[in-house]
Chain A
């Protein structure tokens, strides 16, 4: 326990606490602006922090990481635009809640889900860093491919009840991911000579276009000034008791999925959030509410995208392999500071691990406080007249998208996908599967072909982990319809025997699955 006291003692320094405060403010600001990502903020900050000592430096970097994952929820809920990719799934239910007049509750629930998720992930970092990182190490191309296939089975879940069109949208997303250099041979595919496309379609530009811009264009299309009444009532701020109760299960699901995905190298909060949202939908008693303003959906996604932070840090510290793109930047700084990540770090510098955990904990509490404090002011945004609100959103999205890569092509892509998104909305194609396909596409194709390059099909079939995950995926696709049918049949039988009104859950559920 000496290391614990020493580690935590180091962050009780006022300088370090000031660094955490600066990081929290910067992170929330960056998170709130669509286009600016935590990775970018941490990279820019690392230019400053390298000249500092490790602990205050880490305080700034890690706090930005945590705080950006709070700030990005705000635009996701209020204007349907994810502040960073980690909050894509927040738009699924957060925005519908805001439209229903529950913006206050949505923001509060989201802030608490994010905070609880971060804490649970943090506990995993402290108690299980080494085993988690060992597990992550087991995931080679074959196993990663299997996990991605599992992720793809969530496609149906994020289709919003329209399976056919959802799967088309998903396939289009996967196809978009194949733009650029082929992952194995380096051959150009569908780049039409545009240099910027040879690294692939700019992902952030696509999601800002599909969600934020498309939504504004859609509202604009049917807008009538005389009918417009700005939302003046944000409803309650605190969830009531039954809503709190409904948060419990998705919190568990979100933590589990977030922890596993977060520990995986190169997979971050965006994937974790979407997978957890779809899993929570399957496990929920009210799956039909998902996508239409479900507290469970909001909780599941936000918990998972933050629960990955702890395990991601664990993978980075214990293996020296970045758990996601933010940690890749932090890893660079660690090495320059002379801190060698690896299994030995936990025995040679246990105080450092405690300091890092302490920084993350303080940052989470502080950011939660700041979130709750400024929520009221932020929701005033919605009261703005459309010509102010929409103009601000469009302009900020354009400049933010440019800033990601200093590239005009990115802005053009964003506008094109704004129009594509509008078309999709008007013709009943859900946007969620496109994003899921786009995120998973490169991983799916790259790892499958890499696995085959290394050892042919037996490389995949010979891996117990890969085979298990593939079997689970198969079950995830085939079992639910079978179970639904059985349930429906039982319900019909029950209805026939008691001749009561069959308004049970299963029938409703079946309807959404078919349409």
Chain B
């Protein structure tokens, strides 16, 4: 281990030095306006990647890991810029207002297609897609000592006593609250969503039995499920997850719901084709790289690469789905 540590550390020091030098170089040409990209020699300077969430979170981790891999492919440094606020709308608005020259790319979360229906001025059409990189399926979990052994038990209980079975989620308007709504709609029941202030407190409330169940991402429930404090009833996804061995999908259990978070890379709309191809190729290479896949897997989420065209269809379908889910 010690030997390993040292060699790794040796690798990091020059990397850090290189990063610093790159930052100096970048600063030299960091003028605020965009220049028209000369086709053929893209990229000729460093690229900014906007992340609409706080540094250190799950989205930030995915984005930074991807950026590091994309740097290798593009031969230019990528500076990650966290623009936080308004449930992600601050960063997304900032991204859409940047010049579409390929020197600003951004991490697009599932909220890109949801926020427009929640009173924010976010339009999914303002972004060109470079491909999906990660998927975070929703799970429904109950405390280990819960009387509900299966998803059907939970649905039956909700049928018997509508509006009294509480399901925690990470916040008002979050994808996990939408997941509860989607489950309600499909199963024709009324589970009561209770928004918490973040995913961890929501999961905590379920572990401690303060709520009947919790809707959260795989990465959030798998830790507590592994040591038996939480029982995951179903994954709301087409495919099962390696992080939750032995847990069936909701579809297999007879309630066909598939919903969850995802992450993609996009740019402001109107990107020149050659720049788009260049960036999309880099995203593909990075999203399929060994280090990206292993980091995402370890965090409990699914590394899923989807090419821009295929992803565009899914993106549009999601936007449509949320328009009906949030309809009054």
Within 8 A of A (CB), among B182-229: 192, 194-198, 200-201, 203-205, 207-208, 210-211, 219, 223-224, 226-227, 229
From B56, B58, B60, B198, A42 is in contact (CB under 8 Å) with B56
Task: Report if A505 contacts B (CB, 8 A).
Answer: no
Task: Report if A486 contacts B (CB, 8 A).
Answer: no
Within 8 A of B (CB), among A185-222: 185-186, 188, 195-196, 198-199
| Chain A interface residue number, banded | 35 or more
Minimum CB–CB distance from B158 to chain A (whole Å) comes to 15
Task: Judge whether A405 and B298 touch: CB under 8 Å.
Answer: no
Task: Report if B6 contacts A (CB, 8 A).
Answer: yes
Task: Report if A52 contacts B (CB, 8 A).
Answer: yes
Task: Report if B132 contacts A (CB, 8 A).
Answer: no
Task: Judge whether A335 and B299 touch: CB under 8 Å.
Answer: yes
Q: How far is the CA of A335 from the CA of B200 in the complex (A)?
A: 14
Q: How far is the CA of A438 from the CA of B1 in the complex (A)?
A: 46
Q: How far is the CA of A196 from the CA of B86 in the complex (A)?
A: 6
A44 — which chain B residues lie within 8 A by C-beta? 55
Q: How far is the CA of A42 from the CA of B198 in the complex (A)?
A: 19
Task: Judge whether B119 and A265 touch: CB under 8 Å.
Answer: no
Q: How far is the CA of A406 from the CA of B89 in the complex (A)?
A: 14
Within 8 A of A (CB), among B79-111: 80-87, 89-90, 93
Within 8 A of A (CB), among B1-41: 1-2, 4-6, 8-9, 11-12, 15-16
Minimum CB–CB distance from B199 to chain A (whole Å) comes to 10
Task: Report if B295 contacts A (CB, 8 A).
Answer: yes
Minimum CB–CB distance from B53 to chain A (whole Å) comes to 11
Task: Judge whether B87 and A46 touch: CB under 8 Å.
Answer: no
A320 — which chain B residues lie within 8 A by C-beta? 223-224
Given contacts A42-B56, A184-B172, contact A50 B295 (CB under 8 A): yes
Task: Judge whether A195 and B93 touch: CB under 8 Å.
Answer: yes
From A10, A46, A186, A266, B118 is in contact (CB under 8 Å) with A186
Within 8 A of B (CB), among A398-432: 405-407
Task: Judge whether B223 and A332 touch: CB under 8 Å.
Answer: no
Task: Report if A53 contacts B (CB, 8 A).
Answer: yes
A363-406 near B? 1/0 per residue, CB < 8 Å: 00000000000000000000000000000000000000000011
Given contacts A53-B1, A188-B119, A266-B201, contact A181 B87 (CB under 8 A): yes
Task: Report if B173 contacts A (CB, 8 A).
Answer: yes
From A56, A183, A442, B195 is in contact (CB under 8 Å) with A183
| Chain B interface residue number, banded | 35 or more
Task: Report if B166 contacts A (CB, 8 A).
Answer: yes
**Which of A73-81, A135-143, A246-254, A476-484 makes up part of the contact surface?**
A135-143
Within 8 A of B (CB), among A1-58: 10, 13, 15-16, 39-40, 42-44, 46-48, 50-53, 55-56
Task: Judge whether B64 and A15 touch: CB under 8 Å.
Answer: no
Given contacts A335-B300, A336-B61, contact A141 B85 (CB under 8 A): no
- Nearest opposing residue in chain B for A316, CB measure: B200
Task: Report if B54 contacts A (CB, 8 A).
Answer: yes
Q: How far is the CA of A342 from the CA of B224 in the complex (A)?
A: 7
Task: Report if B254 contacts A (CB, 8 A).
Answer: no
Q: How far is the CA of A473 from the CA of B82 in the complex (A)?
A: 40
A142 — which chain B residues lie within 8 A by C-beta? 210
Task: Judge whether B5 and A181 touch: CB under 8 Å.
Answer: no
B54 — which chain A residues lie within 8 A by C-beta? 43
Considering residues B1, B2, B64, B295, which has the most beta carbons from chain A within 10 angstroms of its beta carbon? Answer: B2
Task: Report if A495 contacts B (CB, 8 A).
Answer: no
- Nearest opposing residue in chain A for B211, CB measure: A454
B11 — which chain A residues lie within 8 A by C-beta? 51
Given contacts A52-B12, A265-B200, A340-B226, contact A40 B55 (CB under 8 A): yes
A506 — which chain B residues lie within 8 A by C-beta? none
Minimum CB–CB distance from B120 to chain A (whole Å) comes to 8
A42 — which chain B residues lie within 8 A by C-beta? 56
Task: Report if B246 contacts A (CB, 8 A).
Answer: no
B245 — which chain A residues lie within 8 A by C-beta? none
Given contacts A195-B93, A199-B87, A342-B229, contact A450 B195 (CB under 8 A): yes
Minimum CB–CB distance from B24 to chain A (whole Å) comes to 17
Task: Judge whether A43 and B56 touch: CB under 8 Å.
Answer: yes
B226-262 near A? 1/0 per residue, CB < 8 Å: 1101000000000000000000000000000000000
Task: Report if A508 contacts B (CB, 8 A).
Answer: no
From B120, B210, B224, A454 is in contact (CB under 8 Å) with B210
From B4, B81, B204, B223, A265 is in contact (CB under 8 Å) with B204
Minimum CB–CB distance from B263 to chain A (whole Å) comes to 15
Minimum CB–CB distance from B169 to chain A (whole Å) comes to 11
- Nearest opposing residue in chain B for A14, CB measure: B6
- Nearest opposing residue in chain B for A335, CB measure: B299
Q: How far is the CA of A42 from the CA of B223 in the complex (A)?
A: 22
Minimum CB–CB distance from B17 to chain A (whole Å) comes to 12
Q: How far is the CA of A55 from the CA of B200 in the complex (A)?
A: 24
Q: How far is the CA of A405 from the CA of B90 in the complex (A)?
A: 10
Given contacts A198-B86, A407-B85, contact A13 B2 (CB under 8 A): yes
Task: Report if A322 contacts B (CB, 8 A).
Answer: yes
Task: Report if A362 contacts B (CB, 8 A).
Answer: no
Q: How far is the CA of A249 from the CA of B9 in the complex (A)?
A: 45
Minimum CB–CB distance from A74 to chain B (whole Å) comes to 24
Task: Report if A321 contacts B (CB, 8 A).
Answer: yes
From B58, B84, B87, B226, A342 is in contact (CB under 8 Å) with B226
A341 — which chain B residues lie within 8 A by C-beta? 223
Q: How far is the CA of A407 from the CA of B93 in the complex (A)?
A: 13
Minimum CB–CB distance from A122 to chain B (whole Å) comes to 23
From A196, A322, A336, A454, B166 is in contact (CB under 8 Å) with A454
Q: How far is the CA of A186 from the CA of B171 in the complex (A)?
A: 8
Q: How far is the CA of A142 from the CA of B5 in the complex (A)?
A: 46
Within 8 A of B (CB), among A115-145: 137-138, 140-142
Minimum CB–CB distance from A125 to chain B (whole Å) comes to 19
Given contacts A137-B208, A320-B223, A328-B56, contact A406 B8 (CB under 8 A): no
Task: Judge whether A266 and B198 touch: CB under 8 Å.
Answer: yes
Task: Judge whether B204 and A137 touch: CB under 8 Å.
Answer: yes
Task: Judge whether A336 and B299 touch: CB under 8 Å.
Answer: yes
Q: How far is the CA of A50 from the CA of B299 in the complex (A)?
A: 12
Task: Judge whether A328 and B16 touch: CB under 8 Å.
Answer: no
From A141, A196, A336, A405, B295 is in contact (CB under 8 Å) with A336
Q: How far is the CA of A137 from the CA of B87 in the complex (A)?
A: 27
Task: Report if A289 contacts B (CB, 8 A).
Answer: no
Given contacts A265-B201, A329-B56, contact A184 B64 (CB under 8 A): no
Minimum CB–CB distance from A181 to chain B (whole Å) comes to 6
Given contacts A51-B12, A181-B172, A341-B223, contact A140 B298 (CB under 8 A): no
Task: Report if A344 contacts B (CB, 8 A).
Answer: yes
Minimum CB–CB distance from B11 to chain A (whole Å) comes to 8
Given contacts A320-B223, A342-B229, contact A15 B204 (CB under 8 A): no
Task: Judge whether B58 and A47 touch: CB under 8 Å.
Answer: no
14 contacts between A and B (CB under 8 A): A13-B2, A47-B64, A48-B16, A183-B197, A265-B200, A266-B201, A322-B200, A329-B56, A335-B298, A338-B298, A340-B223, A405-B82, A406-B83, A454-B210
Q: Which residues of B contact A (CB under 8 A)?
A: 1-2, 4-6, 8-9, 11-12, 15-16, 54-58, 60-61, 64-65, 80-87, 89-90, 93, 118-120, 166, 171-173, 192, 194-198, 200-201, 203-205, 207-208, 210-211, 219, 223-224, 226-227, 229, 295, 298-300
List 5 A-B pairs, minimum CB-CB distance, nearest first. A43-B56, A186-B172, A140-B210, A329-B56, A43-B55
